[in-house]
Amino acid sequence: DQQVKQNSPSLSVQEGRISILNCDYTNSMFDYFLWYKKYPAEGPTFLISISSIKDKNEDGRFTVFLNKSAKHLSLHIVPSQPGDSAVYFCAASAGLVGSARQLTFGSGTQLTVLP
Amino acid sequence: EPEVTQTPSHQVTQMGQEVILRCVPISNHLYFYWYRQILGQKVEFLVSFYNNEISEKSEIFDDQFSVERPDGSNFTLKIRSTKLEDSAMYFCATGELGEQYFGPGTRLTVT
């Protein structure tokens, strides 16, 4: 059951450059998407989210783009910093507004930002 | 900044024993969740809880699992008779609407 897929297990970028992390989904009922960052032995840390009624959401260095027709979203980090090195998870949810919603996670992408 | 806390950070138990994992949610959040991550695998949904009852549960959440919010603050996950395959990181998450905020996790090791 791979409803949310992150096809790149790892990504390396130079400090100061752009990091682009990708995520694909198959379930057309998903209407809310989130990105999390995770360090070893810690819980996922919420970064940014986007509703399916939007195609872009920006928060500081982080921008998430959603292409509903392609069932694809991406996280851009500009500029990348060494402290951004972590595993990044894409997650998606579906359901009624105001209801509890389970998140379906991708397998994660290990981002390494090289100084 | 408010955060979700979980205790214990690490629990070692023998197969067949009961364990209770505890979570203190962010105070104004209404939705509560448990997830787990087996080593090397994806984070998986277990159960959601809203208005003092289970909203949704996954196939993993069988009769051996239960959740409750006994005192209006703590949110607990009980595993009645642990199995070796229950060894995993267990994460509590809480939220208001779409976003969910995760605790640091409890590493459960069943021997």
Say whether B56 and A102 touch across the interface (CB within 8 A). yes
3-state secondary structure of A29: coil
pLDDT, tens digit only, all 115 positions of chain A: 679 999 999 999 999 999 999 999 999 999 999 999 999 889 999 999 999 999 999 999 999 999 999 999 999 999 999 999 999 999 999 987 777 889 999 999 999 999 9
Of B8, B38, B3, whose CA–CA distance to B21 is shortest?
B8
Report pLDDT digits (tens) over B7-44: 999 999 999 999 999 999 998 888 999 999 999 899 99
A91 token code pair: 């997650």
Q: Are B28 and B83 in contact (CB under 8 A)?
A: no
pLDDT at residue B97 in the model: 76
Say yes or no for a CB contact (<8 Å) between A100 and B49: yes
pLDDT of residue B18: 98
Q: Is A112 exposed, middle or buried (0-12, 13-18, 19+ CB in 10 A)?
A: middle
B33:A102 CB<8 A: yes
State the residue for tokens 């996790």. Answer: B105
Mean pLDDT estimate for chain B:
94
Residues 6+ positions from A84 with CB-CB distance below 8 Å: A19, A37, A77, A111, A113
CA distances from A37 to A8, A27, B13, B101 (A): 15, 23, 29, 11
Q: Which of residues 21-50 of A touch B (CB under 8 A)?
A: 32, 34, 36, 41-46, 49
Q: Do B100 and A100 touch (CB under 8 A)?
A: no
- Strands, E, within chain A: which ranges? 4-5, 10-14, 19-25, 32-38, 45-51, 56-59, 62-67, 72-77, 86-93, 104-105, 109-114
Q: Which residue shows structure tokens 């509590």?
A: B92
Q: How does pLDDT run across B80-93, given as a tens digit for each residue?
A: 999 999 999 999 99
pLDDT in tens, B43-97: 999 999 998 899 999 999 999 999 998 887 899 999 999 999 999 999 999 998 7
Which residues of chain B neighbour A34 with C-beta distances below 8 Å?
98-100
Residues of B with CB under 8 A from a CB of A: 4, 6, 31-33, 35, 42-45, 48-50, 55-56, 58, 91, 93, 97-105, 107
Residue B111 clears pLDDT 90, i.e. is over it: yes
